[in-house]
């Protein structure tokens, strides 16, 4: 939200109060409080009729400092609130120097108002004159606004899954979940957190509407504001983007580790297509006959009867024997996913049941809130009511007991603000937060029923903290190259918002993709953390397009299966450290200025560079950082830093291996879940003198086998520890040693 009229004036009807000086400073344990009047206090009379802002600094964990800006502090604080973690932080507070220090990060207040954030003595950012403000308007609204200085050349990332430019400088962003597709400024996953190239990130601890002006209202500042008389935010010191993400996810929650089977290919019925069990089994048989490995089959909305969403009952006209069908799918080695959402249609028997028990959200007048948009007369489950959560979960539990493995938890964005919540939550603050309660309810049921490590969602909406309940997908995109690009931008933006896992609809959702679009999207989809074939009005089985699409899908599905020792290792890192599996180039190469704006390529883990081809001709341009990189699929070596332009057939895509890599490839290409260490091949790429360690994970995320590879001249020594199994070594695609089941091997690359 913009409050000013150019640099000199405020807008009509806007009345800001700015802190002018740090008049009084007190310490309370590990916190520092600054009382800042809105005018210089020269004598006692100046204290009369004079507003004052109260600014409190504290630290929940090392290198993280929270700032709470308050105008009035006696107002009732209604929920919801983000659930934040704390860790022991060695905090130093000095009232004499007006500083609070946590780890390497400090905040320092100046008598003539200026608040600086410093790391190791260097200023990262600051709240300067007329930056912080309590603002009233003529219509009776009140806001807290902050502006933090944006250094020269500093770029800003994150703020959720946003489909515009990856770099947010110059943009206005409202943190407000909306079902807006992937082609507008609206977003399904809004996160009030951004990462900068300046060594710090900022998390605004407000679950409702937060407006960001990123170098757009004041071009040398990042502004954020929210309605109310108090606002808290955290400055998080990195200094690298990956370190910022590690600390942010330590604060807001790390992603759970999805099961290994979920990394395989998901095939769906699509949305409004006509399907029954014969259709489903025809797809499954067709995949098997064409040697296309399939891991999960997903039933979209019309597994239930029309107008009944959601009653969680199979449509008996098309699925007369759901338990038998699920058994038959399980016998084919498949997992099963079902579409759900949090809306209860009036036609559903659950509507009357939920309304009678008080499980549906109500209006201030006491009526059940209803709307005809999406489903006729639908209501909304009130997940602030523990009994409603148990009721909803109970309906899903019956499906799990029938044989379902996971759920696509769709929607969660269309949340009204003219309602009353069971726990008294503020409707504006609940709008974004609702999806967190919704997905948490479903995820915790899956974890309870399936066990830790087996729970996985396919969720569309989220906010801060939602990364704990993976996986999320990009939403409703068009079937075009342009939409393929915007989907990637959204995924990379979400990665810079703390989300470790992400997917998208291969080929696009809306419309029937041209075969070229479909075939180019396949490598992008299979070289994402999770991979799904899904559409709206048309099927997405590859033989609906052409034989080449079948061949391309086979090649990249099998490639992903072989990459699973590496990919699942990256997943374990995302789970333990909060560093996403897919990430923009700037997250991995923060010191390379050429990477700052790159949003048509990405790093898959820390060793593979992927540049999706987004043209029918196959022409693609991408940037290669410094060093000798190797094309995984062709073996060609590219010396960076440089830009490369090439033309790719449908059967290939630029996947470059970073120099100094030991890449573990699995022995199987028919499924994603297997013993990764058994028959593993270690591919060595441009190893320098010295030592490289690689851990091969087991399916529970523990280390199954570790390899230490030491190069000395042309000699390579490999030491293995952990589980015993055959293994081999390749250099540049050439086997240089096929050891027996041994723990030590001496090899030569001469």
Pick the CATH number of 591-657 from 2.60.40.1180, 3.40.50.720, 3.20.20.210, 2.60.120.10: 2.60.40.1180
Cα dihedral across residues 221, 222, 227, 231: positive or negative: negative
Output the CATH code of domain 260-340+384-582.
3.20.20.80
Q: What is this structure's pTM?
A: 0.97
Judged by DSSP in three states, 250 sits in helix
In CATH terms, the fold of domain 675-748 is: Immunoglobulin-like (2.60.40)
For residue 145, CA distances in Å to 150, 223, 226, 449, 521 come to 16, 7, 7, 45, 42
**Alpha carbon distance, N-terminus to C-terminus of the chain:** 64
> Quick one: tokens of 533?
């074939």
Q: How far is CA 708 from the centre of its chain?
A: 32
Which helix (H) or strand (E) segment holds residue 279: the answer is: helix 277-289
Residues forming a β-bridge with 150? none
How confident is the model at residue 510, as a pLDDT?
96
The label of the residue with tokens 């979400």 reads 494
**C-alpha to C-alpha distance for 146 and 224, rounded to whole angstroms:** 6
How confident is the model at residue 71, as a pLDDT?
97
Q: Which residues of 488-502 are buried (b: 16+ CB within 10 A; e: fewer)?
A: bbbbbbbbbbbbbbb
How confident is the model at residue 678, as a pLDDT?
96
> Quick one: tokens of 42?
């020269």
How confident is the model at residue 280, as a pLDDT?
97
The pLDDT averaged over each successive group of 10 residues in the chain (750 residues) is: 93 97 94 96 92 97 98 92 93 96 97 96 96 97 98 98 98 98 96 98 98 97 98 98 98 98 98 96 98 98 96 97 97 98 97 98 98 96 98 98 98 97 98 98 97 96 98 97 98 98 98 97 98 97 98 98 98 98 98 98 98 98 98 97 98 98 98 97 95 97 96 93 92 76 84
Judged by DSSP in three states, 201 sits in strand
DSSP-based helix, strand, coil % in the chain, nearest 5: 20, 35, 45
> Quick one: tokens of 464?
């801060």
> Quick one: tokens of 719?
């030491």
Pairing relationship of beta strands 265-268 and 343-344 according to DSSP bridges: unpaired
List the one residue out of 218, 56, 231 whose CA is nearest residue 131.
218
List the one residue out of 143, 137, 112 whose CA is nearest residue 20.
112
Fold match between 260-340+384-582 and 675-748? no
Boundaries of every domain in the chain: 260-340+384-582, 591-657, 675-748
Q: Angle CA(199)–CA(201)–CA(206) in degrees, nearest 5?
A: 170
Task: Report, as residue numbers or ranges, the catalytic residues.
Answer: 410, 413, 476
Contact 308, 377 (CB under 8 A): no
């Amino acid at each position: 939200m913009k409050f000013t009229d150019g640099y000199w004036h405020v807008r009509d009807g806007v009345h800001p109060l700015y802190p002018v000086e740090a008049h009084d400073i007190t310490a309370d344990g590990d916190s520092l409080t600054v009382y800042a009047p809105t005018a210089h206090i020269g004598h006692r009379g100046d204290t009369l009729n004079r507003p004052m802002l109260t600014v409190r600094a504290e630290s929940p964990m090392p290198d993280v400092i929270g700032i709470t800006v308050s105008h009035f502090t006696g107002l009732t604080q209604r929920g919801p609130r983000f659930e934040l973690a704390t860790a022991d932080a060695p905090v130093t507070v000095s009232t004499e120097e007006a500083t609070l220090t946590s780890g390497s990060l400090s905040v320092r207040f100046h008598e003539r108002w200026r608040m600086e954030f410093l790391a190791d003595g260097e200023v990262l950012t600051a709240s300067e004159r007329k930056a912080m403000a309590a603002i009233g308007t003529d219509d009776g609204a009140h806001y807290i606004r902050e502006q933090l200085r944006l250094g020269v050349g500093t770029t800003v990332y994150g703020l959720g899954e946003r489909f515009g430019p990856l770099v947010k400088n110059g943009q206005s962003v409202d943190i407000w979940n909306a079902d807006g597709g992937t082609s507008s400024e609206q977003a399904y996953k809004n996160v009030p957190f951004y990462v900068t190239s300046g060594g710090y990130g900022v998390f605004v601890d407000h679950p409702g509407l937060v407006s960001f002006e990123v170098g757009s209202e004041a071009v040398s500042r990042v502004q954020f504001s929210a309605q109310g008389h108090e606002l808290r935010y955290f400055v998080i010191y990195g200094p690298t983007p990956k370190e910022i993400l590690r600390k942010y996810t330590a604060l807001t929650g790390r992603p759970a580790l999805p099961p290994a089977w979920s990394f395989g290919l998901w095939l769906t019925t699509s949305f409004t297509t006509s399907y029954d069990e014969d259709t489903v089994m025809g797809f499954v048989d067709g995949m098997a006959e064409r040697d296309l490995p399939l891991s999960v089959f997903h039933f979209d909305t019309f597994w239930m009867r029309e107008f009944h969403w959601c009653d969680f009952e199979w449509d008996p006209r098309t699925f007369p024997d759901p338990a038998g069908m699920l058994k038959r799918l399980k016998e084919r080695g498949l997992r099963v996913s079902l579409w759900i959402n949090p809306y209860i249609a009036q036609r559903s028997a659950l509507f009357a049941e939920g309304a009678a028990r008080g499980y549906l959200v109500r209006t201030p007048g006491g009526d059940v809130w209803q709307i005809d948009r999406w489903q006729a007369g639908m209501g909304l489950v009130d997940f602030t009511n523990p009994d409603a959560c148990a009721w909803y979960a109970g309906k899903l539990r019956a499906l799990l007991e029938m044989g379902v493995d996971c759920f696509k938890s769709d929607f969660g964005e269309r949340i009204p603000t003219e309602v009353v919540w069971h726990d008294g939550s503020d409707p504006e603050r609940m709008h974004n937060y609702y999806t967190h309660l919704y997905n948490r309810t479903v995820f915790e049921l899956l974890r309870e029923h399936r066990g830790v490590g087996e729970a996985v969602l396919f969720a569309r909406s989220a906010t801060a903290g939602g990364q704990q309940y993976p996986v999320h997908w990009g939403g409703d995109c068009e079937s075009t190259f342009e939409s393929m690009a915007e989907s990637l931008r959204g995924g990379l933006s979400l990665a810079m918002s703390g989300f470790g896992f992400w997917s998208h609809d291969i080929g696009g959702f809306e419309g029937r993709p041209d075969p070229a679009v479909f075939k180019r999207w396949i490598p992008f989809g299979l070289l994402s953390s999770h991979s799904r074939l899904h559409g709206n009005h048309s099927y997405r089985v590859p033989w609906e397009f052409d034989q080449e699409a079948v061949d391309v899908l086979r090649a990249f599905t099998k490639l992903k299966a072989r990459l699973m020792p590496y990919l699942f290792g990256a997943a374990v890192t995302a789970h333990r450290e909060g560093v996403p599996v897919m990430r923009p180039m700037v997250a991995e190469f923060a010191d390379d200025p050429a990477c700052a704006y790159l949003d048509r390529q990405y790093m898959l883990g820390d060793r593979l560079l992927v540049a999706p081809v987004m043209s029918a001709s196959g022409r693609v341009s991408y940037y290669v950082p410094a060093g000798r990189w190797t094309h995984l699929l062709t073996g060609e070596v590219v010396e960076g830093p440089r830009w490369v332009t090439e033309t790719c057939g449908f059967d290939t895509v630029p996947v470059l291996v970073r120099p100094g890599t030991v890449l573990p490839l699995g022995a199987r290409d028919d499924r994603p879940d297997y013993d990764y260490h058994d028959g593993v091949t270690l591919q060595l790429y441009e190893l320098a003198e010295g030592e490289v360690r690689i851990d091969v994970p087991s399916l529970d995320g523990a280390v199954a086998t570790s390899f230490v590879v030491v190069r000395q001249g042309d000699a390579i020594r490999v030491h293995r520890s952990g589980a015993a199994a055959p293994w081999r070594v390749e250099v540049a695609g050439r086997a240089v040693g096929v050891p027996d089941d041994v723990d030590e091997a001496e090899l030569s690359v001469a």
